Amino acid sequence: MKKPRVLIIGGGFGGYFCAKHLRKICRGTVELEIISEINYFVFQPLLPEVAAGTLNPQDAVTPLRTLLKGVKVRLASVQSIDTEAKQVVLIQGQKRILQRLDYDHLVIATGQVTNLSMFPGFEDHSLTMKNLSDAFRLRNHIIECLEVADVTKFKELKQRYLTFVVAGGGFSGVETIGEMLEMIERILPQYPNISLDEIRAVLVQRGKTILPEMSAELGDYARKKLEQRGVEVLTETAIQSATRYAVCICDRNSEQQQSIPARTIVTTIGNGPSEFVKNLPIELERGKIAVDANMRVKGLNNIWAVGDSALTPVTCKKTGEQSFAPPTAQFAAQAAKQLAKNIHNSLNGKPLTLFCYQSKGMLASLGGYRGVAELYGMRFTGLFAWIIWRGLYIGMLPGFTTRLRVALNWFFDYFMPRTIVYMGEPPTTATHFAYFSKGDCIHHANEIPQAFYVVVEGELKQLLEQDGQLIERTLKPGDSWGSRALKESRLTTGEVIAAEKSKLLIMKSEDFTRLRGVYNPLDQQLESQDR
Amino acid sequence: MKKPRVLIIGGGFGGYFCAKHLRKICRGTVELEIISEINYFVFQPLLPEVAAGTLNPQDAVTPLRTLLKGVKVRLASVQSIDTEAKQVVLIQGQKRILQRLDYDHLVIATGQVTNLSMFPGFEDHSLTMKNLSDAFRLRNHIIECLEVADVTKFKELKQRYLTFVVAGGGFSGVETIGEMLEMIERILPQYPNISLDEIRAVLVQRGKTILPEMSAELGDYARKKLEQRGVEVLTETAIQSATRYAVCICDRNSEQQQSIPARTIVTTIGNGPSEFVKNLPIELERGKIAVDANMRVKGLNNIWAVGDSALTPVTCKKTGEQSFAPPTAQFAAQAAKQLAKNIHNSLNGKPLTLFCYQSKGMLASLGGYRGVAELYGMRFTGLFAWIIWRGLYIGMLPGFTTRLRVALNWFFDYFMPRTIVYMGEPPTTATHFAYFSKGDCIHHANEIPQAFYVVVEGELKQLLEQDGQLIERTLKPGDSWGSRALKESRLTTGEVIAAEKSKLLIMKSEDFTRLRGVYNPLDQQLESQDR
């Protein structure tokens, strides 16, 4: 008999822990596959330390293949779900043809994405702290700011490059500003023309206290500690918009607006559903996938959802109270464990169980060897809380080598200077030239359109379907294609083959669509050409 | 009295060692400044180990500020030299206005750049191994190939993704293929659907032997060792062209051409002068700056050149024979030391000295704990040579912490699995939106044009000089500017100020120029608009 196939989309806390527990419970009786757009598991609480250069980026995360031996790991991007055919549709690698994978049970654990559309300019001018690349980019960005500020002769520009604004006073925001400041304090001696009092760090929080998930006492302690180190903590303040040069904030009591010139804006707020989740043939509630108390997607028998992308009902273990799980790693990991049991039971015709849980506590690092912790009702602050933070987190990291690597990073960071190697993004271009030999297929039929193509040299044949008939078109230097498929965002109909050695200019769809969208003459030209 | 200012352009072997020795000899009597486009010193022989994931990228290099305390370090890009005014012209940071720096003595140590224009397709389809980003990109590229090959169902595609071609059988090429193979061997157990015999590694060398700088005996040993590990070593073979899918090579004896389908092509050959050096008001010989035997640029009293960008005459210590220094780190470092003495002597009116040197030897690692070495006339192979290689190179690394970091990386790499974390390049776009407040200056007068701008929302004022008169133009949504300055590659004449809150689409100059260059309708539109 063919083993049932369980497909998991997403390798974060929900997806990874679900795969891990399923592998354990089912012991080879199911075929397990995890699909992820990144090939590693990120323990998000460590990202601020990557941004501060304490941890090497590759050391702070663990490859999914290493963690999930026996589970098939696929680096791919899921486009949609065909619930009728019980298949997911995905693309992987360079060949952007839609491929289909069967499933018997499907777990959606894709998390949320940052959505800053309500704050004009934030999408384009602020950095986020969602994944490893974000953290690594922030680290390099800080170094770049200091490099420029150290040598510039423009006073105003210097002040702007030395101003760091973090939006959001939750765990991520507080840890980010704390660690960032620690990094700056440590590397500043290498920048002889900058003094510490020229550094301006601002934490903007909408609510009355920072770390609102913890008790007010701990929030106040965190605020005091950050302020002692020079951070301006602005509570009851809303972010409004950002420009290339400044961030605009508003005091929520006085409604007074203020513009802070800043080169660095880090945003830790604004989560929303991804395009993938929005387009699912599935009911959403509050922007999340609606699931029943067993974590089954409402109305579907073999699709489940867990983690931040789902609105998971939870029953408090102690009080029996019913609520929804907060979007934290702790809940996602526990819910995933329960979900694994439920899938196993469902496969074996056994009854499902509700998700019951109670938070064990919360921890935050403030940088500079200080932290706050709330565990099983007890509260800790200062160095002791910071030590608990490190101890517990290293215990929670998956994989022995990752634990060892992180511990070694921490150990050596204590003794060694933090490096200021600036690894800025390489100057990549979005357009590129591509060469093809005679007979090469440039574009498959039914490929997802991904670019606008212009012939530079050579000759190509394009097969087009018109009124049900296949016609052939010859493309010569100066000819272009792709604009129509991009505009109508549909699959391409015909393939393009190089009739001889050819050179093309390829412009990525996103850029092309943007340019066409705002630059009228180009749009008009293409309209007439595509008619 | 004002201290004389010595400006050094470039932070590689030539520039770094010159700064280091000048600081030591001059002991505070000169003002030293080093200008570099990257803020760290790269020990190139370690790059293949970064590409193979043995070394963390940040650990393999050393920040210039850390190495050169007391020397001013400026992260900037030098545009030109004004020998009359004794100034260099540079840009730094976001503000792309030309700035000028005075010098009394100037050292040009900018190295060479990769020039692959004689091999069609190579610039666009091959990876290089020049700097840290290149090495890190190759590492991620290898992992990406294995990820795709492990899950694809297309046989042909799998074979292509598992084929790795390295062009160039010198030190860099041999070490790169050796280390790359070691990495693949070590991480392959994590890819259950790929077996080692599906991996195809090809080394293409134009000459008769690999490692031609060493004795034929050692070259043969290296070849044998690589072949034992499965590398196809193709000597007397020339690379010709590359496409997206394959590399075309040619046997130089039979003149037979062959096309090897490959996803990965690494090029370690093809050096040439940079645009900066080409545009200098200085005589070039064989694409390099012509200097006299004292390393002074011919015809100029206070400009010196060292390293790969210069054609440095060298006198053999032993035989007295005169030749030109080969483009190796060893010679650059030694020449830089001599140059520092000459600058010091020149400042103090003392006679200059010729550059005399004899190579101490050469080393190469072959991966898999094997190496070849030639030191003071003695030859070593195998594990012993590999140990010498590691020992000598760690001794030659600058900075104590870098040595310690590299040693620790090596130590732990021996015991711990190599991580397969895939850190692909962030999806860069050629276009981006930018927001501005009323009064913000978007574009300064005399700024280097860097983009094509389209107004999306708001209104802007542009000041233009026409026939000697300043005229003001209002820019509204849909209006654009920048194309003319880009086309004529001249400084912009007037500034652009936001008259109200505005949103712009900004398209990077290089991408815009490419699109305009090949897509006629756009060019025609812009021509008529700019008239």
The yes-or-no verdict on residue B465 having pLDDT over 90 is: no
Question: pTM of the predicted model, to two decimals?
Answer: 0.91
The angle at the Cα of B104, spanning B66 to B282, to the nearest 5 degrees, equals 100
**Could you check whether B5-37+76-112+273-358 and B431-530 share the same CATH topology?**
no
B59 contact residues in A (CB cutoff 8 A): 56, 419
Nearest alpha-carbon partner for A240 in A291, A128, A165: A165
Torsion A190-A193-A196-A201 (CA) sign: negative
Mean pLDDT, residues B214-230: 95
Cα B118 from Cα B101, distance rounded (Å): 36
What confidence tens digit (pLDDT) does each residue in B502-530 have? 999 999 888 898 888 888 888 888 888 77
Q: Is B369 on the interface with A (CB under 8 A)?
A: no
Residue of B nearest to A160 (CA): B94
Asked if residues A122 and A242 have their Cβ atoms less than 8 Å apart, the reply is yes
For the stretch A345-354, contacts whose Cβ atoms lie closer than 8 Å and that sit 24 or more positions apart, written own/partner, are A346/A105, A346/A302, A347/A4, A347/A26, A347/A29, A347/A30, A347/A105, A352/A294, A352/A296, A353/A294, A354/A293, A354/A294, A354/A313, A354/A315
Cα B22 from Cα B342, distance rounded (Å): 10
- CA distances to A277, B182, B410 from B234, in Å: 51, 20, 31
Cα B409 from Cα A48, distance rounded (Å): 23
Residues 130-169 of B with CB under 8 A from A: 132-133, 136-137, 143-144, 147-148, 151-154, 157, 161
Which among B134, B432, B435 is the top mutation candidate for probing chain A, defined by the most A β-carbons within 10 Å of its own β-carbon? B435
Cα A411 from Cα A22, distance rounded (Å): 35
Q: Do A518 and B454 touch (CB under 8 A)?
A: yes
pLDDT of residue A469: 83
Neighbours of A364 (CB within 10 A): 27
Residue in A38, A76, A423 nearest the CB of B133: A423
Nearest alpha-carbon partner for B13 in B307, B273, B263, B258: B307
pLDDT of residue A509: 86
Pairing verdict, β A200-204 and A163-167:
parallel
Q: Do B529 and A514 touch (CB under 8 A)?
A: no
Q: Do B136 and A93 touch (CB under 8 A)?
A: no
Cα B188 from Cα A448, distance rounded (Å): 31
B242 contact residues in A (CB cutoff 8 A): 435
Which among B519, B520, B525, B529 is the top mutation candidate for probing chain A, defined by the most A β-carbons within 10 Å of its own β-carbon? B519
Residues 307-346 of A with CB under 8 A from B: none
Q: Do B121 and A435 touch (CB under 8 A)?
A: yes
Compute the nearest-CA separation of A290 from chain B (Å).
Answer: 31
Per-residue pLDDT band for B439 (boundaries 50, 70, 90) equals: very high
The CATH number corresponding to B431-530 among 3.60.21.10, 3.40.50.300, 2.60.120.10, 3.40.80.10 equals 2.60.120.10
Compute the nearest-CA separation of B12 from chain A (Å).
Answer: 14
Asked if residues A493 and A465 have their Cβ atoms less than 8 Å apart, the reply is yes
Residue in A58, A133, A436 nearest the CB of B244: A436
Q: Is A513 on the interface with B (CB under 8 A)?
A: no
pLDDT of residue A519: 87
pLDDT in tens for each of the 531 residues of chain A? 789 999 999 999 999 999 999 999 998 899 999 999 999 999 999 999 999 999 999 999 999 999 999 999 999 999 999 999 999 999 887 777 888 999 999 999 999 999 999 999 999 899 999 999 999 999 999 999 999 999 998 999 999 999 999 999 999 999 999 999 999 999 999 999 999 999 999 999 999 999 999 999 999 999 999 999 999 999 999 999 999 999 999 999 999 999 999 999 999 999 999 999 999 988 899 999 999 999 999 889 899 999 999 999 999 888 888 999 988 899 999 999 999 999 999 999 999 999 998 888 899 999 989 999 999 889 999 999 999 999 999 988 998 989 999 999 999 998 888 889 988 766 667 788 999 999 999 888 878 878 899 999 999 999 887 777 888 999 999 998 888 888 887 777 678 999 999 999 999 888 888 888 888 888 888 888 776
Residue in B246, B434, B480 nearest the CB of A244: B434
The yes-or-no verdict on residue B148 having pLDDT over 80 is: yes
Nearest alpha-carbon partner for B432 in B493, B500, B511: B511
pLDDT of residue B242: 95
Contacts of residue B467, Cβ cutoff 8 Å, sequence gap at least 6: none
Compute the nearest-CA separation of B373 from chain A (Å).
Answer: 31
Pairing verdict, β A87-91 and A77-82:
antiparallel
Q: Does the domain made of B5-37+76-112+273-358 have the CATH classification 3.50.50.60?
A: yes
Contacts of residue A19, Cβ cutoff 8 Å, sequence gap at least 6: A8, A32, A34, A68, A71
A510 contact residues in B (CB cutoff 8 A): 429, 431
Q: Do A66 and B420 touch (CB under 8 A)?
A: yes
Residue of B nearest to A126 (CA): B434
B125 contact residues in A (CB cutoff 8 A): 434-435
Q: Do A430 and B435 touch (CB under 8 A)?
A: no
Compute the nearest-CA separation of B297 from chain A (Å).
Answer: 28
Cα B380 from Cα A143, distance rounded (Å): 43
Pairing verdict, β B370-375 and A99-102:
unpaired
Delimit the domains of chain A by residue range.
Answer: 5-37+76-112+273-357, 122-268+362-415, 431-530
Q: Do A437 and B243 touch (CB under 8 A)?
A: yes
- CA distances to A205, B89, B282, B479, B513 from B490, in Å: 46, 15, 22, 21, 14
A62 contact residues in B (CB cutoff 8 A): 421
B95 contact residues in A (CB cutoff 8 A): 152, 154, 157
Using only C-alpha atoms, what is the Rg of chain A? 26
Q: Is B429 on the interface with A (CB under 8 A)?
A: yes
Residue B427 has, within 13 A of its CA and on its CB side, a CA count of 6
Q: Is A525 on the interface with B (CB under 8 A)?
A: yes
CATH architecture of B122-269+362-415: 3-Layer(bba) Sandwich (3.50)
Cβ-in-10-Å burial (0-12, 13-18, 19+) of B508 comes to: buried
Q: Is B528 on the interface with A (CB under 8 A)?
A: no
Compute the nearest-CA separation of B484 from chain A (Å).
Answer: 16
Residue whose entry in the numeric block shows the structure tokens 């590399």 = B247
Q: Is B410 on the interface with A (CB under 8 A)?
A: no
Residues 182-201 of A with CB under 8 A from B: 190-191
According to DSSP, the residues that pair with A496 across neighbouring strands are A443, A462
Q: Is A240 on the interface with B (CB under 8 A)?
A: no
Residue in B75, B190, B421 nearest the CB of A147: B75
DSSP B151: H
Compute the nearest-CA separation of A517 from chain B (Å).
Answer: 9
DSSP A83: T
Residue in B246, B422, B429 nearest the CB of A437: B246
Residue of A nearest to B520 (CA): A478
Q: Do B95 and A157 touch (CB under 8 A)?
A: yes
Q: Where are the alpha helices (DSSP H) in B118-215?
A: 122-125, 132-151, 155-161, 171-187
pLDDT of residue A493: 67
Mean pLDDT, residues B267-288: 92
The yes-or-no verdict on residue B382 having pLDDT over 70 is: yes
- CA distances to A240, A402, B168 from B263, in Å: 46, 30, 17
Q: Is B117 on the interface with A (CB under 8 A)?
A: no
CATH architecture of A122-268+362-415: 3-Layer(bba) Sandwich (3.50)
Compute the nearest-CA separation of B233 from chain A (Å).
Answer: 25
pLDDT of residue A258: 95
Lookup: tokens for A417: 């200077």
Nearest alpha-carbon partner for B45 in B465, B472, B396, B418: B396
Q: Do A505 and B514 touch (CB under 8 A)?
A: yes
Pairing verdict, β B451-457 and B441-443:
unpaired
Lookup: tokens for B260: 């090897």
Strands (E), A296-411: 303-305, 310-311, 313-315, 322-324, 361-367, 370-375, 378-381
DSSP B351: P
User: In CATH, which superfamily holds the domain spanning A5-37+76-112+273-357?
Assistant: FAD/NAD(P)-binding domain (3.50.50.60)
Q: Is A31 on the interface with B (CB under 8 A)?
A: no
What confidence tens digit (pLDDT) does each residue in B84-104 have? 999 999 988 777 788 899 999
Compute the nearest-CA separation of A151 from chain B (Å).
Answer: 6
Q: Is A98 on the interface with B (CB under 8 A)?
A: no
The yes-or-no verdict on residue B458 having pLDDT over 70 is: yes
Q: Is A92 on the interface with B (CB under 8 A)?
A: yes
Tell me which of B5-19, B86-100, B182-196, B418-432 is least confident.
B418-432
Question: What is the predicted ipTM?
Answer: 0.90
pLDDT of residue A426: 61
The yes-or-no verdict on residue B426 having pLDDT over 90 is: no
Q: Where are the alpha helices (DSSP H) in B243-360?
A: 275-278, 329-347
SS (H, E, C) B52-96: CCCCCHHHCEEEHHHHCCCCEEEECEEEEEECCCCEEEEECCCCC
A241 contact residues in B (CB cutoff 8 A): 435
Per-residue pLDDT band for B359 (boundaries 50, 70, 90) equals: confident
